Amino acid sequence: IARHFSRSSAVQSAIKNVTVIGGGLMGSGIAQVAAQAGQNVILVDVNSDILAKAQKSIGNNLGRVAKKIYKDTPQEAEKFVIDSMNRIKTATDALSASQTADLVVEAIVENIDVKHQLFQKLDQVAPDNTIFASNTSSLSINEIASVIKRKDKFGGLHFFIPVPVMRLLEVVRGAETSETTYKSMMDWGKSLGKTCITCKDTPGFVVNRLLVPYIAEAIRLFERGDAFARDIDIAMKLGAGYLIGPLELADYIGLDTIKFILDGWHKKFPEEQLFKPIPLLNKLVSEGKLGMKTGEGFYKYE
Ligand code: CAA
Ligand code: NAD
């Protein structure tokens, strides 16, 4: 399988200063790929322990990327890692961190109220020309934008985990996203070496509208006792050619994130069977078993 990593890309973007809000699984990856592409990044999280963890994992992951790009030149590999790391600053105050941003990418918890609170405050302090984007997996871009004035400068930039490896970026045009903003988002995605597709503001855009019901069905199959977890994952890898099985993938994405997505869609579309709550998923989340990030989900991790 072809893996593609960019150090600097042929596609130029006018965006040079990026603020990424949320330093978890996704935010750390987004910060990494922007820094790799030569942009200045401020990575923000309310939790400074998370920022320390993010810096460590970015360092490790840059090392993996550098080994591939600079196979035969270890000194250049080391320089690549150091230079990229130096482009990433961290902060706990989203408002001051957004004052020099050309683009703010939000990757905080999948909750519309929390996202609203953040964007409402940012809208008041960020420069007028700053573009805002959300990495939401499942919420409506128009609904998130409803609380801000710069609706023309808002859109969705939906990355995939692990961000440095997955080559796709879904660029979501909201009802009021301007042509200029849309073009800037596409150019920025390309400058990171991603392949960009255009999506409408529909639930789950393209990938998650197909992927989340599939994962939910796998959890239900396991919950009914129809097959062992390991066998469900083996089945989809060896029988359908997937890189990773659905329960492993759920653990990788985060069971809390899967639950946030399903709950949100269930509330909006109560008749849709595919979005119905799953008692086993709710139980694991309530026990703090959120998958790889907490050391246990459907599987245990060291
Ligand atoms: N940074 C840089 N490189 C990384 C990396 C990271 N974070 N994670 C993995 N890699 C690289 C490794 O160095 C390795 O490179 P080589 O093959 O060149 O040696 C390669 O990726 C494979 O990694 P591993 O050997 O560690 O493990 P693996 O072969 O089991 O692959 C995986 C792990 C990359 C996660 C792979 O299973 C995969 O791509 N799975 C699909 C993931 C997927 O479907 N993501 C989308 C989820 S949906 C989503 O994100 C949307 C949403 O809103 C929920
Ligand atoms: P995560 O739990 O790993 O990280 C979220 C981070 O946001 C946490 O570190 C938390 O401390 C921080 N945070 C919460 N509220 C904040 C605030 N007001 N200001 C600053 N920081 C705040 O979650 P994640 O998996 O990185 O997901 C983040 C977003 O990306 C969600 O919207 C999710 O739906 C979306 N997403 C997730 C995936 C995935 O596979 N996990 C893929 C694509 C998109």
Measured from the alpha carbon of residue 257, the closest ligand is: 2
Q: Which atom of ligand 2 is nearest to the CA of 254?
A: 41
Pocket test for ligand 1, best of 106, 161, 165, 258 (most atoms within 8 A of CB): 165
Question: Is 296 buried (19+), middle (13-18) or exposed (0-12) by CB count in 10 A?
Answer: middle
What is the pLDDT at residue 292?
97
- Contact between 220 and 226 (Cβ < 8 Å): no
How far is Cα 291 from Cα 246, in angstroms, rounded to an integer?
12
- Contact between 181 and 196 (Cβ < 8 Å): no
What is the pLDDT at residue 12?
82
Which residue of the set 6, 28, 98, 137 is catalytic? 137
Pocket test for ligand 2, best of 90, 109, 120 (most atoms within 8 A of CB): 109
How far is Cα 285 from Cα 41, in angstroms, rounded to an integer?
32
- Contact between 77 and 68 (Cβ < 8 Å): no
How far is Cα 170 from Cα 173, in angstroms, rounded to an integer?
10
Structure tokens at 251: 């653990």
Q: Tens digits of per-residue pLDDT, 181-214?
A: 999 999 999 999 999 999 999 999 999 999 999 9
Pocket test for ligand 2, best of 137, 144, 171 (most atoms within 8 A of CB): 137
- Ligand 1 midpoint to CA 58 (Å): 14
Concerning whether 282 is annotated as a catalytic residue, the answer is no
Residue ranges and CATH numbers for the domains of the chain are 17-200 (3.40.50.720), 207-294 (1.10.1040.10)
Structure tokens at 81: 């890692």
Which residue of the set 106, 110, 170, 248 is catalytic? 170
Measured from the alpha carbon of residue 63, the closest ligand is: 1
Tell which residue, 222, 223, 20, has the closest CA to residue 233.
Answer: 222
State the Cα torsion 2-4-107-261 to the nearest 10°: -10
- Contact between 226 and 233 (Cβ < 8 Å): no
Is the Cβ atom of 98 under 6 angstroms away from ligand 1?
no
How far is Cα 280 from Cα 292, in angstroms, rounded to an integer?
17
Is the Cβ atom of 64 under 6 angstroms away from ligand 1?
yes
What is the pLDDT at residue 2?
39
Q: Which atom of ligand 1 is nearest to the CA of 248?
A: 37
Residues of the chain with pLDDT under 50: 1-2
- Contact between 154 and 127 (Cβ < 8 Å): no
- Contact between 182 and 153 (Cβ < 8 Å): no
Q: Tens digits of per-residue pLDDT, 130-172?
A: 999 999 999 999 999 999 999 999 999 999 999 999 999 999 9
Is the Cβ atom of 165 under 6 angstroms away from ligand 1?
yes
What is the pLDDT at residue 11?
77
Concerning whether 137 is annotated as a catalytic residue, the answer is yes
Measured from the alpha carbon of residue 121, the closest ligand is: 2
Concerning whether 170 is annotated as a catalytic residue, the answer is yes
Using alpha carbons only, give the angle 48, 53, 59 rounded to the nearest 5 degrees: 125
CB-based contacts of 104, cutoff 8 Å, min separation 6: 18, 19, 20, 21, 98, 122, 126, 130, 131, 132, 133
Tell which residue, 120, 144, 133, has the closest CA to residue 170.
Answer: 133
What is the pLDDT at residue 7?
52
